[in-house]
Each structure stands twice: as structure tokens, then as C-alpha cells.
Amino acid sequence: MRKAIVVFVLLAVGGATIALAWPSSVQPELQPAGTEPFGWRSIAPQQQTEIVGLYENTTEGFSVVLPEGWVGQENEDNFPLLSIRGGEEDEEANAPVRGQLWVIPRGDDSPAQAWMEGQLAGLPVVTSEPRSFERADSAHQLFTSRPTEEGVVVVDLWTAVARGSQMFLLRVQADEPDWLAFEADANAYIDSFMLQTPMPFGASREDSLFQWWGEIVTLDPALSRQGAGGITGAIFSGLVKLDTDLQVVPDMAESWEVSDDGTVFTFTLKDNVQFHDGRAVTAADVKYSWERALHPDLESPVAFTYLGDIVGAKAVTDGGPETLEGVEVLDDRTLRVTIRDSFSYFLSKLTYPTSFVVDRANVETGENWTDTPNGTGAFKLKVWQKDQLLILERNEDWYDGAPALAHVVYRIFAGNPMQMYETGEIDLTSIYVNNIDRARDPANALNNDLIEGTELCTSYLGFNVSHPPFNDPKVRQALALAMEADKQLEVTYKGLAARAAGFVPPGMFAHNKRAAPSRFDLETAQQLLKESRYGGAVNLPPITSYARDDAIHWAWREHLGLEVEAVSVFEFSDFLERLDNEEYGVFTAGWCADYPDPQNFLHVLFHSESAENRFGYEDVDLDAVLEDAAVEPDPDRRAGLYQLAEQMVLDNWVAVPLRHNNSYMLVRPYVKGFELTPIGVPQLQNISIERGQ
């Protein structure tokens, strides 16, 4: 077999640069023409699923007809989506006609000609002409020809078709003698290309919600760190949930009773709760799900944070008994839960996915059980093509009534979400600084779709105090004072976020309105470095920073003369793994409330025994204050304790609050029932599509 060499071309898409793998013949100086096209699959005939005649792709919304004698093959990674060969193959299984069909994020609104000429620059073009396809924004065709080192002339027919955020690229390649025999077939193949309304796996725009989505780290609720408002919260459910007013309300539980001392909760399940396969959910399923989440073999990064208040939870996570002492199954519908003390926020913790119920038989099918999860939520998983597409379908037998949405379609990394919204490919999207001015302009059509709200979130600069030079509080303070956080907020965020003085955000109980944010004070910063154990900036070791903001690095270099290496980690799962391993000495991160209580910020982030403490920070006095606050019944005193704990963290410069975020979304008028909330809570069950009403 001939060896394919793949060349990577960088495209700017949505403000980020991505690498696309192109056929090697795009770069003639690197690879002779006529080599095996990128994406070709060398699969034995008995393993192939060959496509002949009409090929219709309802997910991407197009069809094409393969000429007689041509066969196609869909590729698992969808890049290219389709590999094609035509004509009689030789002894090495090389077909005289080769081809591929790609569906690529367009990146911007460049017409097909400009896009194609930019991507295929350097090819010897024979002809260049516009094309026309119904429903396309634009289309263009290039015909190229060049000799190989062996003197064989290879020709390529490239056709680009632009629609919305997508670019369809069709390529047909052959040696020149073969091209003369197959030219008519090649042109017929291109002419047959038709754009259609996408209906991925039957999901219609008339009764389904379409949205852009990013990385899906896991669908296992015991491992999820995405909150209840995402995909996991649609497939699975728990005893209780937060409503859009952030109040704890029943979910699978019909009701509950609390003992006088606030330590015993007795839950009664609704009588119609069942898994997606129809099996009734019992109290034993709840107990199993919690014990599984806490079991050390699962290595859940969040289970103890949200279930650790239950009596016996620590013994389970430490590898002791597998049975959770504080959970008793009284009967199929009744569960008694005993917690270590009267924690007022305990019920709120149970709204997090860690406590959601899973089916033991489903889990025990193997490590890939989440590919076919047997959940309890308002929606079932219908299709999951990893890193491409995920589709939910409504659960007709959901205990609170079937949702109005027939499907929810997640286009994973499908392109620029803002562009996809404007071209009508998705129904809602978050909007950020680079587009907010347009959306806020009353003369812009986007203004009618704009929804603004607050978030219970805090972005901060964090230090791991075990990493030199951040083991010196004076160094930490100096770095904080050398930042120009106010200027950064004004320039970078255009005032769309609020400057943070503390970690507990506005709108949450115990937020300290009197606190003042850290200031820019270069003189003090320089003096602090001299007073530190390092004796000045010149003696500090080089700083490796994971702060995802070049303005911070610039300030440290410019104002303090420090040697700073900035490291970027693009994948969220990779960032979290490194954060869990405490690899970062200095980093920027954010924390958004999972339940509306200051314990979720201060205790979870800074208590020395918290799994979410990524700062290497231990302070027995701080721990004592946080533990007192957790059980304090008087609201005023409790608020005072949390404000004291917050100030202790600030005084030691363990982390520096930067900003409290606001949220901005564009939502189509026909999307009914959606509310923008300070915490992401499950809402898909409340949404309907009402076009033309």
C-alpha cells in the first residue's frame, strides 16, 4: 500500500485556532501527487460497509449520488465524512478514481471561492469557476493538475459549498489518463450534490432544541463536575432538585421529613418513578448509587464533597465497609438518611449529580455503560457520536410528565456557536465580550433575543502555597498587587463583569458588601519582594504560570521583571486533572455555586480536608471557623463566621478574587419556557418550541 502523509493547516474558528488535516497533495513540495488521499481506510472487503448509488446524510443535511461502479465508505471519525473510490482496482487495491467529502466548520462568512483559494493556495490551478447549488450561500470549483516525480500527471477536482457555519468540500482525484475516462462521472457526481434541512436521526427543528456543545468529559453522574443543568441532569435525576428560584423542591422524592435536631431525613419516593427501561426505582437503588459514588475504586473527584456529610461516608471512601452506615432502606419507597450534624445546606447538596440514581445492572455491563445509560431523567440518550453529536429523546414515561421537546440535539464542537446562531442552526447560545456590543444595540436584530442575568460565580487567581516561590505569602501578595485587575476588567471585559472583593458572590447569603478588592500598588509589591525570603525579584525562581490571561503575565514581567513562562491547557478535562494533581503553582480558575450557600465556596475550596482544596493550604484556625459556620443555626452569626473565614483566606493571599461574572444569552423567540438562572438548573423539561405562534 502507498503511504499517506498528512499536512496540518491552521484555521481560525470562533477566535480559536484549530488544526485540520488535509490531503497530502495540497502541499506538493512535501508529498508527490497521486498518493493515498487522507482519510482512506484500508479495510478488508468483509469488514467494509460500502455505499452505492444515493448517499443521504440527514445529520449534516445533504445527499449525493455515486455513479455506477463507484463506492463510498463512511469514516468513523467523520474526517473525511466519506471516502470514495471508482473504477476497477489494481492488484494493490488502488482505484483509478479516489475521492473524499468533508464537512468542515466554515469559521467565518467568507464566500466559498475565498475560502477555497486560501486553503488550497499553492496548487497549480487549471480552471477556477463559480458553482451554484440550491440552499447554498456560495459555491466554487477548482480544477488542478500537476506531475508526480514519476512523471504521471494527477488531476483534482475540488468543489466547495458554503452553507451557514458549514463548508462542504468534495474532491475527486485521478491520474490524467484515467480522468479522461471518468470525467463525465465525476461531473455528474458533483452535480448531484443537494443540500437539505438537517434532521439528525429524525430530530426536527419543529419540535426539538438544537444547541452547540463543547467537551463531554463524562455522563457518569458520580464523576460529573458539570452541575445538574447539563446533559447528565437530563438523563439522570435524584431525590431533590433546585427550581429556577434556587429553592430545593421534590424530584424523585414525593416528600421528606426532618428530625427535630436536623440530622435525620426520611424520604418517600413517588410511586411512579422508574428507569428508562421501565423498572421501578426503589430506595435500594438510591442507596446503591450513593455507595457506588463514594467507593474508592471509582475515584470520584466530587463524591465526598457532596455526600461526605452522611454518617459513614468517610469510612466508605477510606476503603472500609462498602455499606453506607447513615443510609437505611425502610421499604421500597422509604429511605432514612442520617448526617453527622445539623448542616442546613445538606438537602441542597443532594441536587448535585453525585447523588443521582443509576441502575446497578446497567453499570455492571462494563466501563462503557454510559454509552447506553438506563437513567431516570426526563430524557433518554438516543445517539452519542463522540466529539461530534449527541441527541436526547424525551422520556414518554417520565414521572413528572413527558417533556414537550421531542429531542435535544447537541452539535459538539460543530463550529463557531455565534455564527451558528445567526445562521439559524442552533436555538440558543451564550454570548461573550466580542459580540455583546452588537447584541446590546437596539438597532441590531440580535437585541430582541438577548437575555441578561447574574451568575453566582467568582473568578480568581490561585496559588499553590507548597510550590516555590508561592510558599511565601509576601511573594503571593506582591504578585497580586502588581496586577492591574481593574484596568483588565475595563479593557478586556468592557465592564460586563463586576470586580470581586471576596469569594462569596453578590446575591448569595453572607456576601460581604463592605469588602474592598485588592488594589494596584507597584511600590508595595516591589518592597514585599525585597522583604520576602527570596530577597527580591532577581532571586525568584522562574515562574510557570497557568493563569489564562496574558495581561497578568505582562504585568509581572513589566512591573516586577520576573521570568514568567505561560502555559496553556486547552482541554477542560486535562486542566481539571492537572488541577486535581496540584501541578499548578499559580493559575486562574473560577468557581460557580452548585447550591446557593457560602459553604459551597469557602468550606469546599479552602478547608484543609476538602477534596476541592487545590491550594496546598492548611490552617487549623480557618478549619475551626468553617466547621463552626457549617452548624451555626443563627443566620447573622453564621454570616459573620463565613465573612471571617473569607477574610482569613484573603489576608494570607492564598487566592485573589478577580471578578464576578454576569451571563448573557441569545434565545430564539420561539423557544418557550427557558429561564436564565444564577445557577445552571435542569430546565429542558420546561422548554417547548412554538414556531409561528
Instruction: Give the residue among 71, 103, 77, 76 at the shortest CA–CA distance from 189.
Output: 71
Burial of 658 (0-12, 13-18, 19+ CB in 10 A): buried
Q: Which of 108-112, 381-385, 444-448 has the lowest mean pLDDT?
A: 108-112
d(CA 592, CA 679): 7
Query: Does residue 587 carry a pLDDT above 50?
Result: yes
Q: Is 41 helix (H, G, I), strand (E, B) or coil?
A: coil
Q: Which residues touch 6 (CB under 8 Å, ≥6 apart)? A: 21, 22, 24, 38
Q: Which of 109-113, 121-125, 524-528, 608-612 has the lowest mean pLDDT?
A: 121-125
Residue count (the chain): 693
d(CA 178, CA 210): 44
- pLDDT band, residue 93 (cuts 50/70/90): low
d(CA 670, CA 656): 42
3 state SS for 99-131? EEEEEEECCCCCCHHHHHHHHCCCCCEEEEEEE
* pLDDT (average), residues 99-124: 89
Q: Which grid cell is 310?
A: 452522611
pLDDT at 40: 31
Q: Which of 18-22, 35-39, 182-186, 623-627 has the lowest mean pLDDT?
A: 18-22
Q: How would you classify residue 296: left for phi > 0, otherwise alpha for psi between -120 and 50, otherwise beta?
A: alpha
Q: Which residues touch 296 (CB under 8 Å, ≥6 apart)? A: 316, 317, 318, 319
- CA 365, 219, 210: angle at the middle one, nearest 5? 125
Query: Does residue 190 carry a pLDDT above 70?
Result: yes
- pLDDT band, residue 90 (cuts 50/70/90): low
d(CA 481, CA 522): 6
Answer for the pair 661, 456: CB distance below 8 angstroms, yes or no: no
Task: For residue range 536-567, list pLDDT tens digits in order.
Answer: 999 999 999 999 888 999 999 999 999 999 99
The residue ranges of every structural domain in the chain are: 7-198, 208-394, 457-660
Instruction: Give the residue among 210, 60, 85 at the shortest CA–CA distance from 689.
Output: 210
Q: What is 7-198's CATH number? A: 3.40.1000.10
* pLDDT (average), residues 446-456: 95
- pLDDT band, residue 91 (cuts 50/70/90): low
Query: Does residue 12 carry a pLDDT above 80?
Result: no
Q: Which of 105-119, 312-326, 451-465 has the lowest mean pLDDT?
A: 105-119
Query: Does residue 41 carry a pLDDT above 80?
Result: no
**124, 363, 593 from 144: Cα distances, Å:** 6, 54, 56
Task: For residue range 307-352, list pLDDT tens digits in order.
Answer: 999 999 999 999 999 999 999 999 999 999 999 999 999 999 999 9
Q: Which grid cell is 361?
A: 445492572
* Average pLDDT of the chain to the nearest whole number: 89
- pLDDT band, residue 11 (cuts 50/70/90): very low
d(CA 634, CA 479): 38
Q: Which residues touch 247 (CB under 8 Å, ≥6 apart)? A: none
* pLDDT (average), residues 488-499: 85
pLDDT at 568: 86
Q: Which of 6-15, 118-127, 583-592 has the lowest mean pLDDT?
A: 6-15
Residue 295 half-sphere exposure toward CB, CA atoms < 13 A = 11
pLDDT at 18: 25
d(CA 571, CA 548): 13
490-519 as b/e, with b when 16 or more CB fall inside 10 Å?
eeebeebbbbbbbbbbbebebbbeebebbe
Cell 456529610 belongs to residue: 309
Residue 536 has φ and ψ, to the nearest 5°, of: 130, 165
Tell me which H or E stretch contains 347.
Answer: helix 346-349
Query: Does residue 373 carry a pLDDT above 80?
Result: yes
Answer for the pair 447, 440: CB distance below 8 angstroms, yes or no: yes
Query: Does residue 578 carry a pLDDT above 50?
Result: yes
Task: For residue range 469-480, list pLDDT tens digits in order.
Answer: 999 999 999 999
**204-208, long-range: CB < 8 A, 24+ apart:** 204/406, 204/407, 205/689, 206/689, 206/691, 207/404, 207/405, 207/406, 207/407, 207/689, 208/405, 208/406, 208/407, 208/408, 208/409, 208/689
Tell me which H or E stretch contains 621.
Answer: helix 620-631
Instruction: Give the residue among 677, 631, 625 at the shortest CA–CA distance from 649.
Output: 625
pLDDT at 335: 98
* pLDDT (average), residues 272-284: 98
pLDDT at 39: 32
Burial of 618 (0-12, 13-18, 19+ CB in 10 A): middle
Q: Which CATH class is domain 208-394?
A: alpha beta
Query: Does residue 47 carry a pLDDT above 80?
Result: no
| 457-660: CATH topology | Dipeptide-binding Protein; domain 3 (3.10.105)
- pLDDT band, residue 4 (cuts 50/70/90): very low
Query: Does residue 92 carry a pLDDT above 60?
Result: no
pLDDT at 21: 30
pLDDT at 570: 76
Q: Is 140 helix (H, G, I), strand (E, B) or coil?
A: strand
Task: For residue range 284-312, list pLDDT tens digits in order.
Answer: 999 999 999 999 999 999 999 999 999 99
Q: Which of 45-49, 335-339, 466-470 has the lowest mean pLDDT?
A: 45-49
Q: What is the DSSP string of 276-293?
A: TTSPBP-HHHHHHHHHHH
Q: Which residues touch 568 (CB under 8 Å, ≥6 apart)? A: 548
